[in-house]
């Protein structure tokens, strides 16, 4: 048996038209999908994408397709689905690494990224560092270096939106219209990582979140933005292809309970009834030992 886990994401730090095409930098958080791959018959209720991932890994290493029927995949995850929290990427990446390890192989990040993108648009949570990633073709992956630590109050909406549905929207004109702002956000991400500044990352995320309103608007966004400013938070980030929003902060510096109270006072809890205090973490798939 092999076990691997991959973090989910609180949306993206930035996403948009950067360096000539749509790219993103996911925001990995301490909320994981853990996958076990073992010998055994497939389960009747397996997630279709994890089975497809296992079969893709078998093909990658030259195994016969029939071997799939002798391997079982079990997923343990509470990451909300279809909210923009990278639940599918976490499942797929962890399954791929666990399957490869079970068969006596390893996948480097480039191989893993290409494999995942062959199945669906993929978040950059599978990389160890914050990474600018071409999530549809895997042609670009630029590591940003070690990133500053921060926390997020994740605001979860009941609204669901599958990534595939988002990618069917006509987006290119709106993305290109915001290209200059996203280039500025990309520069701020690099500066934030170079100077260990969560404030810079927050500025970058806020720029990208504002630009995202033209494509997938979040309710009461202006009110949320005012709350971020009045409370002196680092910034606001969003799921550009989902419904989740993150308020970027330091739980030791900012008053999280006051923030929850303010959300309720301004009726924002009606839009975001579930709230989760999480920490930004390093990305990458980890094997259990």
Task: Say yes or no to pLDDT of 116 above 70.
Answer: yes
Q: What is the pLDDT of residues 66-107, one digit of tens each?
A: 999 999 999 999 999 999 999 999 999 999 999 999 999 999
Burial of 286 from C-beta contacts in 10 A (0-12 / 13-18 / 19+): middle
CA angle 239, 120, 83 (to 5 degrees): 25
> For the chain, where are the E strands, in sequence order?
2-18, 21-39, 71-77, 131-133, 141-143, 151-156, 235-238, 245-249, 274-279, 286-287
Quick one: CATH architecture of 2-287? 2-Layer Sandwich (3.30)
* Contact in structure between 76 and 95 (CB atoms under 8 Å): no
How far is residue 88's CA from residue 81's CA, in Å, rounded to a whole number? 8
pLDDT at 170: 74
How far is residue 140's CA from residue 88's CA, in Å, rounded to a whole number? 20
Q: What is the pLDDT of residues 17-66, one digit of tens each?
A: 999 999 999 999 999 999 999 999 999 989 899 999 999 999 999 999 99
How confident is the model over 253-274, as a mean pLDDT?
A: 96
Instruction: Name the percent of the chain lying above pLDDT 70.
Output: 99
* Contact in structure between 88 and 50 (CB atoms under 8 Å): no
Compute the mean pLDDT over every residue in the chain, rounded to the nearest whole number. Answer: 95
How confident is the model over 112-139, as a mean pLDDT?
A: 95
Task: Say yes or no to pLDDT of 289 above 80.
Answer: no
* Contact in structure between 101 and 115 (CB atoms under 8 Å): no
* Contact in structure between 280 and 27 (CB atoms under 8 Å): yes
Predicted model pTM: 0.95
Task: Say yes or no to pLDDT of 279 above 80.
Answer: yes
Q: What is the pLDDT of residues 204-261, one digit of tens each?
A: 999 999 999 999 999 999 999 999 999 999 999 999 999 999 999 999 999 999 999 9
pLDDT at 168: 73
Token pair 């976490």: residue = 90
Burial of 51 from C-beta contacts in 10 A (0-12 / 13-18 / 19+): middle
How far is residue 273's CA from residue 174's CA, in Å, rounded to a whole number? 30
Q: How confident is the model at residue 166 (pLDDT cuts 50, 70, 90)?
A: confident
* Contact in structure between 208 and 192 (CB atoms under 8 Å): no
Beta-bridged to residue 205, according to DSSP, are none
């Amino acid at each position: 048996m092999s076990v691997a886990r991959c973090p989910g994401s609180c949306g993206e730090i930035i996403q948009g038209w950067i360096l000539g095409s749509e790219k993103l930098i996911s925001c990995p958080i301490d909320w994981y999908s853990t996958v076990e791959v073992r010998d055994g018959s497939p389960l009747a209720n397996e997630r279709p994408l994890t089975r497809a991932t296992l079969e893709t890994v078998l093909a990658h290493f030259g195994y016969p397709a029939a071997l799939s029927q002798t391997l079982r995949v079990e997923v343990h995850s509470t990451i909300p689905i279809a909210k923009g929290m990278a639940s599918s990427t976490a499942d797929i990446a962890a399954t791929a690494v666990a399957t490869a390890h079970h068969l006596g192989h390893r996948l480097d990040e480039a191989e893993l990224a290409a494999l995942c993108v062959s199945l669906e648009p993929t978040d950059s949570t599978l990389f160890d560092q914050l990474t600018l990633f071409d999530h549809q073709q895997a042609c670009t992956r630029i590591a940003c270096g070690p990133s500053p630590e921060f926390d997020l109050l994740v605001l979860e909406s009941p609204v669901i939106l599958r990534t595939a549905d988002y990618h069917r929207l006509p987006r290119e004109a709106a993305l290109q219209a915001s290209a200059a702002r996203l280039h500025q956000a990309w520069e701020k991400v690099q500066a934030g990582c170079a100077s260990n500044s969560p404030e810079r990352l927050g500025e970058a995320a806020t720029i990208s979140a504002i630009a995202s309103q033209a494509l997938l608007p979040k309710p009461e966004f202006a009110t949320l933005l005012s709350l971020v400013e009045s409370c002196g938070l680092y910034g606001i980030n969003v799921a550009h292809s989902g419904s989740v929003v993150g308020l970027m902060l330091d739980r030791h510096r900012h008053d999280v309970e006051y923030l929850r109270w303010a959300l309720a006072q301004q009726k924002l809890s009606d839009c975001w009834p579930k709230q989760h205090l999480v920490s930004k973490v390093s990305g990458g798939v980890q094997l259990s030992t």
